[in-house]
Structure 1
Amino acid sequence: MPRSVAVLGLVSFFMDVASEMVYPLLPFFLTVVLGAGKETVGLIEGLAEGTASLLKVVGGRLSDRLGVRKPFLIAGYGLPALVRPLLALAAHPWQVLGFRLLDRTGKGLRTAPRDALIADVSQEADYGKAYGLHRALDTLGAAIGPLLAFALLPLLGYRGVFWLSLLPAAAAAGVVVFFVRERRVPPAREPLLAAVRNPPYLRFLLASAVFTLGYVSVAFLLLRLGELGLSPRQTTLAYAGYNLLYAALAYPMGTLADRLGPRRATALAMGAYAAVFAGWSLAPGAAAGLALFAAYAAFIALFEPARRAYLAQVAPERERAGAIGLFHTVEGVLLFPASAVFGWLWQVHGHVAAFGLAAGLALLGAALLLRPPR
C-alpha cells in the first residue's frame, strides 16, 4: 500500500475527530445557548451541505486543470482549522453559519483532489484496498469524535469542546503540509463534460443517481431504532458501535471489492442495501433492529471503497478529479430530495412504504449498473 494512502487516511482521521467533536453539539449550542429556532438549524445545515456538494466539482476541475492535488488539500484541511475560533467565540447564529459555510467550503475543495490522489498513487488492482484503508481511518475518527465530545462536554462546556477541536484539525492540516506527497499529473485541457462522456462513466453516474434517490441519512435508522424500543442513550451507543464496526470492516471489504471487481462489488452492495432496508420495514423489535444496523455497517464498509474504486477506474485519467467531483456533486444534490421524500412517506404512509421505496430504488440502481453495455 503506498505511503501516501496511509498518510491521507491519517489526515482524514484527525479531521473527522475534530468535525465529530463539534457536529453533534451544534444543534444544541444553537438552540440552547444562542436561542435559535429549529428552522435556523435546518437552514444552516442545508446551506452548509449544499455548499460542500456544489464545490466538489469545482475543486476537482481546478485540480485537473492545474495538474496538482496537494494545494487543494492544504486549503481544504487548513481552512476548517483556521475558522474554528469563529465557532468557539460565536455570539449569534449567523456566526455559526459563517463557520459552517467555511468549514464545508474546505470539504468541497479537498474531496475530489484527495480521492484522485489516492488513485494517482495506487495500482488499479488495489483501488479497493486503498479506499478501504482510507475509509477505515476516516470512520475511526468519526467514532472517536462524538465519544470525546460526550466525555468532555460536562467538563469544558460547548465552547471549551469547540476550542479543543482545534487540536486535531490543526494536526490534520499539519500532516498534509509536511507528509503528503503527490504524483504530478498532466494538466487537463479538454472540457470536463466532453471528457466524461464515456459510456462506463455515464452508466455509473445514472445507476448511482437512481440509487441515491433511495440512499438516506443514517439518522432515519437511529429514529427507527428508537421506535423499536431503544432509549436515546442506547441509540447513541449503537451509533458509536456502527462506526467502529464500519471502521473495522472497511479494509477487508475493500480487499473483497478488488477480488470481485469494483463494478460487481458496488452492485452487490446496492443489493445488500435493498435487503437490509426491506428488513428494516419488517423488523419486529430492538434485537432485530440492532442486527440490521450491524448489517448496514457491513454494507457501507463494502459500498464506499467499491464505488470509489470503480469511479476511479471509469473516470478519464486526465480528468479524474473533475469526474470524481461531478459524481459527488450530483450525489449531494440528489440526497436532499431523497431524504425529504423518505421522511414524507414515513410520516404520511408509514415506515413500510418509506423503507420499501428505498429498497426498490437500490435494486433498480444495481440492475442499471450490471446491465451489459450496448
Structure 2
Amino acid sequence: MEGDRRLEQLYQLGLVVGATLDLTRETAAFMGWLVEAVEPRLAALFIAERSRRELWLVQVHGFDLPADSRLPLGLDPWRWLGEQGVAVPSERDPCRYVIPISVEQQLFGTLCLLSRCPPDRLAEEQRLVSTAASYLAPVLGNIWRYQALEQRMAEVERLNTTLTGLLEDLQVANRRLETTAARLEEANEELKAFAYSVSHDLRAPLRAIQGFARALLEDCADRLGPRGQDYAHRIVRAARRMDRLIQDLLAYSRVGRLEIRLRRVSLGQVVREVLAQLEAEIQRTGAQVVVEGPLPEVVAHRSVLVQVVENLLSNGIKFIAEGVRPRVRVWAEERGGRVRLWVEDNGIGIPPADQDRIFRVFERLHGVDTYPGTGVGLAIVKKGVERMG
C-alpha cells in the first residue's frame, strides 16, 4: 500500500512538473508537490547558475529569505542558511539532509530538507525525494538550454539590428561616394577640357605674339629704334615666360589626373634619362653632376618619377649663388623596404621658415629676374610623390 502511495505521488509530480519552460513556475510546482508529499519542517531549493559558480535560492518552505539569495558553490547549504539567520538543526540531526539535483554528474541544483518523518521511515522518504529530484533535473536542463537559446537568439537579433544599421549606413555612404565620384568625374572632364583649351586656345595666341614680335625685330629693327627694340624684346621674353608657365601648369594638371600604375622601374635609367634632357643646361652652366651608383630599382610610375627627378636636378643646377659652379650629388639608400633618393647640391638652399610653402603652386622665394622659373616645379615634385604613395 505504501509503495502504491509513493507511485501515485510520483505520478502527480509528473503531472505538475515539466509542462512549461518557466523556471519560477516549475520550481514552485515542485516545491508545492514536495510540501504536500512529505510535509517537511524546512525546505530550500537551490538552482545552479549556468556559470556553475553559485547556487541561487529559488523556493523556500518553513522560513523567510529573499528568493534571489546566492550561495557560493561548494559551501554547505545548511551552514549558509544558519548564517542567514535560519534556525537550522544540528549536524547530528538525521532528519536534516541534502539531495543533489543532477543528471550524469551535471549539477542543476540542490534540495535541503528537514523532515518530520520518524527515523525508521526516513530512508524511504529520502528515496522518494531523490527520485523526485531526478524528475526535476531534466526539466531544469531543458530550461537551461531554452534560456541559452533565447540568449543566443537575442544576441543574433542584436547583431542583426546592428548589421542592418551598418548596412543602411553603408548604403548611404555608397550613395554619397557615387555622387562624389560622379562630381569628380564631371570635374575631371571639365579639367580635361580646360587643359585642352589652355594647350591649344591660349598657347596659339602666345605663339602669334612671339612670332610677330620677332618679325618686328628681324624686319623692322631699324625703324623701331632702341626703345621700340627693347619693347619688342620684352614682349618676346614675356610671351616665352607665359608659355613656360602654361606648360608647367599643364604638367602639374597631368600629374594630378594621371592614372597611376606602379611598376618596377630602374632608378639608374631614370636619372640617366633626366641628365640627357638637361644636357644643354649642364653644359651652359658648367655644372658637375655626380651619380653614385649603382642606383636600385624602385616601384613607381615611370613618367611621374622622371618629372620628379627632373625638377629636383634642374633646381639643383639653377638655384646657385652668382659666380659659383653648380655641383650636384645623387645617391640612394634603402631603409626598411623603401628607397630614399638624395639630390644634394651647393645651391642657395631654402630657409626653414619657407620649406612648407615652397611646395605650393606659384610659390617663389626670388624674383624672376634673379632666378627664372614659374614656381610650379616643386609643386609637381610634391604632387608626383604623393600620387605614387
TM tier, shorter chain? under 0.3
- Point out the structure with max Rg over C-alpha: 2
> What is the TM-score when the length of structure 1 is the normalising length?
0.20
Q: Which structure: greater helix fraction?
A: 1
Q: Which structure: greater strand fraction?
A: 2
